[in-house]
Structure formats: C-alpha cells, structure tokens
C-alpha cells in the first residue's frame, strides 16, 4: 500500500503511474478539489477563469502528451496588435517582446538577458551547486546582478517587471544561482518571457484544471478530499499518515505538497535537521491575478494585443488577453506580484475593484470600466498553497542544502514542482517530479 499526499499535478502524476502499475494506493488531499495551484473558476454556466497556472509551451512535452491522451484541445494565446508600455507614467505602444524605450536601454536589456542566458546555460539543473562559480552566484541576489548590469533606469524598470513576473517575487528575494537554475530548467529566459515559442504559448480549452480532473478520474475513488495530513510516523516497516478523523498505514509514501507546508506536518522521527533548516529558509512567491471580463475583447478591434508592461508606479506588472479560444467574451488579465501584491491585496475588495478598473481604463479606454464580471485572487491567502508560483531559494540555500528537498527519508519520497530539475515552478515540472517519485517507490516495491 502506498499513500500520496497532495492531489496537485505532481501527486496526480505519481498516482497515475501507480494506478497503471496496478498498485494499491490512496491520495490524501486537503482541499475539496484536485489541481492545487491550478484552479479554474467556473461561473455563469459556461464561463471560466484560470485563477492559477494556465499556460503551456514548447519544451513542456509531458503537458502536450497528457492533453493529447485525455483528448483535450489547446489554443494559441492571443498575441497580435500593439503592446503597451507605461514607464514614468508615460504610455507608449510597441510590437514584439521588447519595448521601444530608446536604443541605449534596449541594447542594455538585450545584454542583461543574454548574460543571464549565458550563465544559465552553464548550470547543470541536477547539481546547480557544483558549478565552478556557484559560491559567487549564490552569494548575491538576482536584484544585485540586474542593478549592477543595468546602465539606464528604463532598462532596470523593464527588466525588473519582466523578471518579477517570471519568478513572482521581488528580485532581492532569490539568489542569482536560483534564478540561473530556474532559467535553465525552463530552457532560457526568452522562453520564459515569451508567448510565441515560449512558456505562455498555449492554453487548454475549458481551463487548465480540466486536465487535473481528467488525470484524477480513473482513480477518483482512491482520492480522499478534505483530508489534511497533520502527522506522519514511520518505522522501518511502515508509515502511518493521519489527520483529523483519519489514520492510514502504508509501506511508502510520496509527499507532493509545497515545501513551506511540510513544516506544518509533525514527523516522528523528525526530519533530518538539514531538511528542516532548508524548509525554514524557503518562502513562497507572492502573486495575484486580476480579471476584468467583458462582452467581447473590445481592445482587439482597436488594434491592441491586451498586453501591457508597467513600472512600479502602477499596481500591476503585466497584462494579457486571457479570452477563451472562440473569443465569445473578453478577458483582461493583470498580474499583481510581490510588493505590488502586498499593497493591492491589503485594500478592501471594493477599493481593489475600483483601482483595477481605473487602471484597465488607463490603457483600454472607458469601456474597460464596465466589465460583466470582476474577480481578483491572491495566492498568498490560500492556506494550502502558502503563496505561488513556487518556493524561492534565497542566497546561500542552494550551496548549503543542495538536493535536500528531494532526498528520500527512509520510506518517505518527495515530489512537487519544487523537486523538479526541469521546469521548476511549472506544471510540467510538477508532473515530471511526480513521475520520478512514483518510479522511486516502484523500484523499491
């Protein structure tokens, strides 16, 4: 008997393998739904909004294979027309990935991106701490590197916004080594920043959570929802997993939950102190999504892509057109990250809505003031995530703790996107990590 803790993509990917191998297993899930950090809000009969993870892109092979296996269709993210940049409260339009903000700034941005990509290319994602400059890369923050290499204020502001959006944190919250590892795990920075040929290229028709639901369907009777695990006791022969009103025994277990939440589980015997120390160091990113839903994507008619990049004078870092495949209604999606999220989500709901719609109207006109529907959602508020997109490694964490997060501890194995060596922080990484952990326990069975 095996137990998997967590029915996010990682836990579900592990469970799929055990199910296909004909093994006896149960999945314990604290929430009342599968998908974890992927959550599709369905409303008004046929409308939906992806509050959490929503995009897939080239290089994420398992996502396309799974979508194909479950006969789910994907579609292109809308990416035509003029983009907007709002710097020093001045609005300009541009096309392509990098805005026209003056040649020196433009060249500077290209230089910093190419430097990050060049350094990242030398990192082995299974052993980032072994790089010959790892000690140096791990001693400074990403912010320190970017500030040092940005020669103009505009270049810094644009890069800062782009990188905050990639990592969902202030740039001083992660070490340069973590940033390089993360970039390499998703190929390169251009891939992570881009729609076309990048990590934002496609969406699943009907919402990303559909894929989690399809994955869970064949073994749905084995998933115990509303089962938050609070205690794990193990000896040589078995592991006892318990929470309020339940207790189950297994030979081996897989824990596929965000690292910061592992700290809330009581382990007997205690986890190795190195793992506990790493768990104390890791924090989660801070991200909220803000949606305005309109009868149609009206900005397209005016020649806009719906994409906006702003500096920190504005409440949101970036915008996307997140309308459904048939554009039957229009969805503007703004990302609110790190300090901007801490400020925005400290406001009352009515104030947030007012501020958001005024901001939407700043770029797309008065029509943006009248949505059919408004929703905002902060992941730092979710007790079963503790933040998003993923765990952040501060300076010193990779070099001191190496692969401590994914090392098995007796009969306990570890999954979750944070244990991935490819596509760390992404759904693809979660799936690959779940499959790796399932392989580990099957090889011991």
Element housing 76 (H / E): strand 74-76
**Smallest gap from residue 303 Cβ to ligand FAD (A):** 26
Which structure tokens are listed for 29? 């899930």
The piece of 118-126, 215-223, 292-300, 388-396 that touches ligand FAD (CB under 6 A) is: 388-396
In the complex with ligand FAD, which residue's Cβ is closer, 225 or 298? 225
**Smallest gap from residue 441 Cβ to ligand FAD (A):** 17
Q: Does 257 bind ligand FAD (CB under 6 A)?
A: yes
**How far is it, in rounded angstroms, from Cα 438 to Cα 443?**
9
In the complex with ligand FAD, which residue's Cβ is closer, 7 or 279? 7
**Smallest gap from residue 370 Cβ to ligand FAD (A):** 25
**Smallest gap from residue 254 Cβ to ligand FAD (A):** 11
Give me the 104-143 binding string for ligand FAD, x by CB under 6 A, dash otherwise: ----------------------------------------
The piece of 23-31, 173-181, 185-193, 351-359 that touches ligand FAD (CB under 6 A) is: 23-31
Q: Which of 261, 284, 337, 437 binds ligand FAD (CB under 6 A)?
A: 261
Q: Is 291 in contact with 375 (CB distance < 8 Å)?
A: yes
**How far is it, in rounded angstroms, from Cα 172 to Cα 255?**
29
In sequence order, the 6+-apart residues with CB closer than 8 A to the CB of 78 are 297, 300, 305, 306, 321, 323, 327
Q: What are phi and psi of 88, to 5 degrees?
A: 50, 40
Q: Does 5 bind ligand FAD (CB under 6 A)?
A: yes
Place of tokens 């779940």: 434
Q: Is 352 in contact with 341 (CB distance < 8 Å)?
A: no
The piece of 91-99, 181-189, 250-258, 290-298 that touches ligand FAD (CB under 6 A) is: 250-258
Entry field: residues in the chain: 445
Q: What are phi and psi of 283, to 5 degrees?
A: -125, 170
**Smallest gap from residue 434 Cβ to ligand FAD (A):** 7
Instruction: Give the Cα-Cα-Cα angle 218, 2, 8 (nearest 5 degrees).
Output: 55
Q: Which of 2, 3, 4, 10 binds ligand FAD (CB under 6 A)?
A: 10
In the complex with ligand FAD, which residue's Cβ is closer, 52 or 306? 52
In the complex with ligand FAD, which residue's Cβ is closer, 229 or 250? 229
Closest to 97 measured CA to CA, from 200, 202, 204: 200
**Smallest gap from residue 428 Cβ to ligand FAD (A):** 6
Q: Does 259 bind ligand FAD (CB under 6 A)?
A: no
**Smallest gap from residue 50 Cβ to ligand FAD (A):** 8
Q: Does 390 bind ligand FAD (CB under 6 A)?
A: yes
Site for ligand FAD in 199-238 (CB under 6 A): 228-229
Exposed/middle/buried for residue 246 (C-beta within 10 Å: 0-12, 13-18, 19+): middle
Which structure tokens are listed for 160? 């800062």
Which structure tokens are listed for 239? 């592991």
**Smallest gap from residue 333 Cβ to ligand FAD (A):** 10
**Smallest gap from residue 216 Cβ to ligand FAD (A):** 11
Instruction: Give the Cα-Cα-Cα angle 395, 401, 404 (nearest 5 degrees).
Output: 135
Q: Does 59 bind ligand FAD (CB under 6 A)?
A: no
Please tell me what DSSP assigns to residue 100. Answer: -
According to the 3-state scheme, what is the secondary structure of 208-232?
CHHHHHHHHHHHHHHEECCCCEEEE
Residues that bind ligand FAD (CB under 6 A): 5-11, 28-31, 36-38, 52-55, 228-229, 256-258, 261, 265, 287, 289, 379, 384-385, 388-390, 416-417, 425-428, 430
């Amino acid at each position: 008997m095996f137990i998997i803790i967590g029915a996010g993509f990682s836990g579900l990917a592990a469970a799929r393998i055990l199910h296909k191998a004909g093994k006896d297993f149960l999945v314990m899930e604290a929430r009342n739904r599968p998908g974890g950090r992927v959550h599709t809000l369905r409303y008004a009969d046929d409308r939906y909004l992806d509050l959490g993870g929503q995009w897939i892109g080239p290089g994420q092979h398992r996502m396309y294979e799974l979508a194909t296996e479950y006969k789910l269709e994907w579609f292109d993210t809308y990416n035509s027309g003029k983009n907007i940049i709002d710097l020093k409260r001045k609005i300009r339009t541009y096309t392509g990935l990098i805005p026209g903000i003056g040649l020196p700034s433009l060249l500077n941005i290209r230089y910093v991106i190419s430097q990050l990509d060049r350094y990242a290319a030398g990192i082995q994602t299974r052993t980032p701490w072994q790089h010959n400059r790892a000690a140096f890369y791990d001693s400074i923050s990403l912010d320190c590197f970017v500030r040092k290499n940005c020669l103009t204020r505009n270049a810094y502001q644009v890069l800062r916004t782009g990188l905050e959006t990639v990592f969902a944190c202030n740039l001083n919250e992660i070490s340069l080594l973590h940033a390089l590892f993360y970039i390499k795990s998703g190929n390169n920075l251009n891939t992570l920043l881009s729609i076309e040929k990048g990590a934002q290229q496609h969406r699943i028709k009907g919402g990303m959570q559909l894929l989690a639901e399809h994955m869970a369907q064949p073994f749905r009777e084995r998933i115990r929802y509303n089962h938050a695990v609070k205690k794990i006791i193990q000896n040589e022969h078995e592991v006892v997993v318990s929470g309020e009103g339940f207790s189950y025994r297994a030979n081996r277990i897989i824990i596929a939950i965000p690292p910061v939440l592992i700290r809330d589980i009581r382990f007997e015997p205690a986890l190795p102190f190195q793992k506990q120390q790493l768990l104390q160091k890791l924090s989660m990113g801070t991200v909220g999504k803000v949606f305005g839903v309109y009868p149609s994507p009206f900005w397209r008619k005016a020649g806009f892509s719906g994409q906006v990049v702003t500096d920190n004078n504005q409440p949101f870092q970036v915008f996307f057109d997140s309308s459904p495949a048939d554009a039957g209604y229009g969805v503007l999606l703004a990302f609110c990250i790190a300090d901007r999220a801490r400020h925005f989500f400290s406001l009352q709901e009515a104030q947030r809505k007012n501020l958001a719609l005024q901001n939407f109207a700043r770029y797309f006109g008065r029509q943006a003031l009248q949505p059919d529907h408004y929703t905002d959602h902060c992941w730092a508020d979710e007790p079963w995530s503790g933040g998003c997109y993923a765990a952040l490694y501060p300076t010193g964490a990779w070099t001191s703790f190496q692969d401590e997060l994914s090392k098995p501890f007796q009969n306990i194995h570890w999954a979750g996107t944070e244990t991935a060596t490819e596509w760390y922080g992404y759904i693809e990484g979660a799936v690959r990590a779940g499959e790796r952990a399932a392989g580990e326990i099957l090889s011991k069975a």
